Chains A and B, each alone.
Chain A
């Protein structure tokens, strides 16, 4: 009896010791793990990020015009099946189809499905080529231009024996919506990363200076930050995006838009950095460092920033979906990214007409993925915020 209780106190003791000696990261992780919703969000997010990175492999076709299926424009989703009235098959299959249009059908394409002829889904098929880590370097002077070849692959996760398979259907030009969706996730993540990074650097500099020096520098910087915050962001984006010369390539445009998102998105982050700094800079450890003769930059970098790294990470995760959504909204009205680059906004550009709404509802499938992506970010961000706050468990 005494034996068990002493081992129990031993275990308790060990747990307590582990708790008191744990680093900040370990504590946050321990608290984060307890939140079910946030963990689910984190898994979804990891899957999304991976599927964005490996989009070229996971999707059967090139998402640009190069991969279009001319014989299946505005085609309905073809969902692979395992069985039908003609029997069961281990290998999933889709049907063959015939498209006709005539005066009887009012010149609309009408698809007739031939349920007798099956097309079986194949895995690891050879298809269009895609590359990773390929860069075109354009230095001034023709002779200096060169290309880093990177790694080229041809294998795609799945495909069909003959013709093409379109799980989510195709759009008006015959591009595969499934492939476009995955590439769009990739684009959104890239836009968000660049935008958040730029906003973060600006916020650190402006908020850092403002919070550390205080006084009149702080007042002036705060007035400017507030003025920028008063201008509604999307109209401002629109004004900036309208200046992009039409002859820019879609890649340059993509880079420019992501940078603009960062340049306009910094004020909220900067304010938070400032508030953190204002409270921290009066702490004794800062005074101690200053008395030892540390320079302002040194104090900010070595002492102040580490004191709220976790808060900054949380802020970054939370501001990520705002960047993604701004990009989507901007592309949607035609001022953001343009066609060869895929993003949700680009894909939704043409859906507002009644024809699409009545006849081609599969255009809206990507929306589900994006709601999931943003929700995952929000859940993870919220979970992280609770986990990073050392008093959250005391309060509730």
Chain B
């Protein structure tokens, strides 16, 4: 128990360290954007007709605390960020936590469902393809996993849209029908959401599935030739019971370990797919913030939250692994 507690503590410290490094990168990027909040506010005032001077901008900087040293501001930002408070966006002039709130959880939900879908397909298919000697099955699975890379999610989304526009005359875009877009959550709204959310989930899951099949297959074929499998078979264990109880158990451990990076890969494509399918969630908010309005506070907050959820998932999978495998508890950094 002591060992386990120590493991959890060290892992948690590592996760927080990662978050701090990431926050430094994100914060520095935000600082690199030309212009700051003071200039933005006053530029807005200028458009309203009140004349402004350099002295006004400097006064505004002092008021917003932008004149303090870089490291102090970073410290402040990160302390607030850990409490889920990202300040106001100085372009949209609203609180970022409020603006993101629900949208971020929607995105996270979609991404996690895509991840779930990917492994729900990849684990059985990968195991079957590793054990079967059917060349047609293997070659076609190989082609599918290659296509997962060659036809990235956003191209797939485009192709599906092209197909559905030509054949059905409907573009299948958006997360809600028009009448539910701004309605409060209700049973009907959830149904409407589910009837539309499956498409982004499938599209986002596509590359991940192809990739996961390849991984599962490779790990399985490594394990399946080992002696303990032969020994189990000699003892009379056979069929699915043999596969699941012996090699699959070992082969799947590294996969749990890499879930965080899989989530990263899916998150990665979310903004672009969101743009194509005109989903109104965090991903497209990010593009909006970066491509159109240079809204550094909003962009920084989104990237930080994305990374925080990936680091969080990594932490959880580490703990889950440690519970199931005593060897991992002993190796602290491994």
Question: A-side interface residues toward B, CB under 8 Å?
Answer: 219, 223-224, 226-236, 238-243, 245, 321, 325, 328-329, 332-335, 348, 351-352, 354, 357-358, 361, 364, 367, 370-371, 374-375, 378-379, 382
Collect the chain A residues with CB atoms within 8 Å of residue B158's CB: 348, 351-352, 364, 367
Distance in Å: Cβ of A35 to nearest Cβ of chain B: 12
Asked whether B271 lies within 8 Å of A333 as measured between CB atoms, the reply is yes
Of B2-10, B98-106, B306-314, the one contacting chain A is: B306-314
Asked whether A364 lies within 8 Å of B25 as measured between CB atoms, the reply is no
Q: A231-B307, A232-B268 are in contact. Are A242 and B149 (CB under 8 A)?
A: no
In chain B, what residue has the closest Cβ to A344? B155
Residue from the set B146, B166, B311 with the largest chain A CB neighbour count within 10 Å: B146
Q: What CA separation (Å) do A354 and B303 show in the bound complex?
A: 31
Nearest 8 CB-CB pairs, A to B? A227-B21, A374-B150, A357-B165, A242-B290, A232-B268, A375-B150, A232-B267, A234-B268
Asked whether A333 lies within 8 Å of B269 as measured between CB atoms, the reply is no
Q: A238-B286, A354-B171, A358-B166 are in contact. Are A230 and B307 (CB under 8 A)?
A: yes
Interface residues of B in 57-102 (CB under 8 A from A): none
Distance in Å: Cβ of B259 to nearest Cβ of chain A: 13
Asked whether B272 lies within 8 Å of A333 as measured between CB atoms, the reply is yes
Collect the chain B residues with CB atoms within 8 Å of residue A229's CB: 261, 264
Instruction: Please tell me if B37 contacts chain A, counting CB pairs below 8 Å.
Output: no
Asked whether B25 lies within 8 Å of A354 as measured between CB atoms, the reply is no
In chain A, what residue has the closest Cβ to B25? A231
Instruction: Please tell me if B154 contacts chain A, counting CB pairs below 8 Å.
Output: yes
In chain A, what residue has the closest Cβ to B149? A378
Q: A235-B286, A239-B290 are in contact. Are A361 and B166 (CB under 8 A)?
A: yes
Q: A223-B14, A378-B146, A379-B146 are in contact. Are A238 and B22 (CB under 8 A)?
A: no
Asked whether B154 lies within 8 Å of A243 as measured between CB atoms, the reply is no
Q: What CA separation (Å) do A236 and B30 show in the bound complex?
A: 11
Asked whether B291 lies within 8 Å of A334 as measured between CB atoms, the reply is yes
Q: What CA separation (Å) do A233 and B25 show in the bound complex?
A: 13
Asked whether A239 lies within 8 Å of B299 as measured between CB atoms, the reply is yes
Distance in Å: Cβ of A248 to nearest Cβ of chain B: 12
Q: Which of A227, A242, A332, A367 contacts B18 (CB 8 A)?
A: A227
Q: What CA separation (Å) do A304 and B328 show in the bound complex?
A: 31
Asked whether A230 lies within 8 Å of B311 as measured between CB atoms, the reply is yes
Collect the chain A residues with CB atoms within 8 Å of residue B333's CB: 219
19 chain-A/chain-B pairs, Cβ below 8 angstroms? A223-B18, A230-B307, A231-B26, A231-B307, A232-B267, A232-B303, A232-B306, A238-B286, A238-B287, A321-B150, A335-B290, A352-B275, A354-B171, A357-B161, A357-B166, A358-B165, A367-B158, A374-B150, A382-B146
Asked whether A230 lies within 8 Å of B291 as measured between CB atoms, the reply is no
In chain A, what residue has the closest Cβ to B278? A352
Q: Which of A236, A242, A329, A382 contacts B294 (CB 8 A)?
A: A242
Collect the chain B residues with CB atoms within 8 Å of residue A240's CB: 29
Asked whether A333 lies within 8 Å of B287 as measured between CB atoms, the reply is yes
Asked whether B25 lies within 8 Å of A227 as measured between CB atoms, the reply is yes
Q: Which of B29, B147, B165 contacts A239 (CB 8 A)?
A: B29
Collect the chain A residues with CB atoms within 8 Å of residue B287's CB: 238, 333
Collect the chain B residues with CB atoms within 8 Å of residue A352's CB: 158, 161, 275-276
Residue from the set B162, B171, B310 with the largest chain A CB neighbour count within 10 Å: B162
* Tally of chain B residues near chain A (CB < 8 A): 52
Distance in Å: Cβ of A365 to nearest Cβ of chain B: 12
- Could you list 14 further interchain pairs (A-B, Cβ under 8 angstroms) beyond the known A238-B286, A329-B272? A223-B17, A226-B18, A232-B264, A232-B306, A234-B271, A235-B267, A235-B303, A238-B271, A239-B29, A332-B154, A332-B272, A335-B290, A335-B291, A364-B162
Instruction: Please tell me if B247 contacts chain A, counting CB pairs below 8 Å.
Output: no
Asked whether A230 lies within 8 Å of B260 as measured between CB atoms, the reply is yes
Q: A242-B299, A335-B291 are in contact. Are A234 and B146 (CB under 8 A)?
A: no
Q: What CA separation (Å) do A334 and B276 show in the bound complex?
A: 13
Distance in Å: Cβ of A339 to nearest Cβ of chain B: 15
Q: A227-B21, A228-B25 are in contact. Are A243 and B152 (CB under 8 A)?
A: no
Distance in Å: Cβ of A55 to nearest Cβ of chain B: 21
Q: What CA separation (Å) do A95 and B152 show in the bound complex?
A: 37
Asked whether B264 lies within 8 Å of A230 as measured between CB atoms, the reply is yes
Distance in Å: Cβ of A45 to nearest Cβ of chain B: 13
Collect the chain A residues with CB atoms within 8 Å of residue B300's CB: 239
Asked whether A371 lies within 8 Å of B166 as measured between CB atoms, the reply is no
Asked whether B306 lies within 8 Å of A235 as measured between CB atoms, the reply is yes
Q: What CA separation (Å) do A348 and B34 show in the bound complex?
A: 29
Q: What CA separation (Å) do A245 and B35 show in the bound complex?
A: 12
Q: Which of B166, B271, B302, B310 contacts A230 (CB 8 A)?
A: B310
Asked whether A374 lies within 8 Å of B149 as measured between CB atoms, the reply is yes
Collect the chain B residues with CB atoms within 8 Å of residue A329's CB: 152, 154, 269, 272
In chain A, what residue has the closest Cβ to B265? A232
Instruction: Please tell me if B55 contacts chain A, counting CB pairs below 8 Å.
Output: no
Q: What CA separation (Å) do A169 and B333 show in the bound complex?
A: 58
In chain A, what residue has the closest Cβ to B294? A242
Residue interface mask B228-248, A partner, CB < 8 A = 1: 000000000000000000000
Distance in Å: Cβ of B152 to nearest Cβ of chain A: 5
Q: What CA separation (Å) do A287 and B277 show in the bound complex?
A: 58
Asked whether B34 lies within 8 Å of A354 as measured between CB atoms, the reply is no
Residue from the set B147, B152, B314 with the largest chain A CB neighbour count within 10 Å: B152
Asked whether B161 lies within 8 Å of A230 as measured between CB atoms, the reply is no
Q: A238-B287, A333-B291 are in contact. Are A231 and B149 (CB under 8 A)?
A: no
In chain A, what residue has the closest Cβ to B139? A37
In chain A, what residue has the closest Cβ to B287? A333
Q: What CA separation (Å) do A245 and B269 show in the bound complex?
A: 25
Q: What CA separation (Å) do A371 and B268 show in the bound complex?
A: 20
In chain A, what residue has the closest Cβ to B267? A232
Asked whether A243 lies within 8 Å of B310 as measured between CB atoms, the reply is no
Q: What CA separation (Å) do A231 and B28 show in the bound complex?
A: 14
Distance in Å: Cβ of B294 to nearest Cβ of chain A: 6
Collect the chain B residues with CB atoms within 8 Å of residue A379's CB: 146
Instruction: Please tell me if B33 contacts chain A, counting CB pairs below 8 Å.
Output: yes
Q: What CA separation (Å) do A354 and B172 show in the bound complex?
A: 11
Q: Which of A236, A242, A243, A378 contacts B150 (CB 8 A)?
A: A378
Q: What CA separation (Å) do A367 and B154 show in the bound complex?
A: 12
Instruction: Please tell me if B322 contacts chain A, counting CB pairs below 8 Å.
Output: no
Q: What CA separation (Å) do A153 and B245 show in the bound complex?
A: 68
Collect the chain B residues with CB atoms within 8 Å of residue A328's CB: 152
Q: What CA separation (Å) do A224 and B21 show in the bound complex?
A: 7
Distance in Å: Cβ of A101 to nearest Cβ of chain B: 23
Q: What CA separation (Å) do A238 and B291 show in the bound complex?
A: 8
